[in-house]
Structure 1
Amino acid sequence: MSIQTSRAEELGTELGEAITELPEYEAFESAKKAVEDSETTQEKIDEFERIRQEFMLARQAGTATQEDLQRLQETQNELHSMPVMEEYLQAKSELAERLDAINDVISDPLAVNFGEEAGGCCQD
C-alpha cells in the first residue's frame, strides 16, 4: 500500500469520526433511537411493512387495486405524521443535506475533464 493510499484512508477515518460529531448526525442518532424506543411507532412501522408487502405481492400477481395503493399511502402518511417519526425524517433529511455538502467539498478537487483528455472523441 502506498503512502498516499494510507494517508487517504487515514483522512477518511478522521472524516468519519468528525461526521459523528456533527450536530446533524447527533440529532439523527437521537431521533433514530427515539423511533426505536417507541413501541407505538414500532407497531405502526410493522403495520406499514405488512401492508407494503401485501401490496407488492398483489402487484406482482396483477391483483393490486387502487384501494390497495390508497391503503398503503394512508398507512405511510399515518406513520410519517407521528411526532417521533416526523422528527426522525427531518433529522435524516438534514443529515443527508450536510453529507451532500461534504461530498461536494471532497469532489471539487477530483474534477477532471475527460472529454479534453480523450482527444475530442467525447465532446458535447
Structure 2
Amino acid sequence: IRTDHETTTAAEAREKLAKGMAILIREGSASKDLDALAEILDADTSSFVALCTDDRNPLDIAEEGHLDSSIRRLIAKGRPLHHVYRAASHSAARIFGLTDRGLVAPGWRADIALLDDLEDCRVS
C-alpha cells in the first residue's frame, strides 16, 4: 500500500507520510477531509501529497467545482500556491506512476487549463 485517501486527521497523515506513504487529500460530496488535512501541505510534503475528489456528485461539481474547488480552498487556507498546484498536478501524476505527465515540459503529455488568476483558479 503506497497511498491513502482515507486519512482524516493531520496527525494520522503525518504518521503515514513519515512511514513513506503518499496522502491523498480527499474532498468529495460525502467524505470531506480537506479542512482537517490542509495543514500538512507544505514544502516538505507537497511531493507526497495529492488532491482527490473520490465521490464528487454532479450537482456539487456544477455548484462548487471539482479539483479547482479544492485548489481554491487550500489557497484560501494559506497554503502556498506552488505547493497546492504541485499536489494537484505533478505529485498526483508521480504518485500514480504517470511519469510523463504532471508538468508542462518537452516530451511530457499535458492537458492545459488557462486560468485568469492562480489564486482564484477559475478556468477561462
With the length of structure 2 as denominator, give the TM-score of the two structures.
0.23
Return the TM-score normalized by structure 1: 0.23
Higher helix content, 1 or 2: 1
Q: Over alpha carbons, which structure has the higher Rg?
A: 1
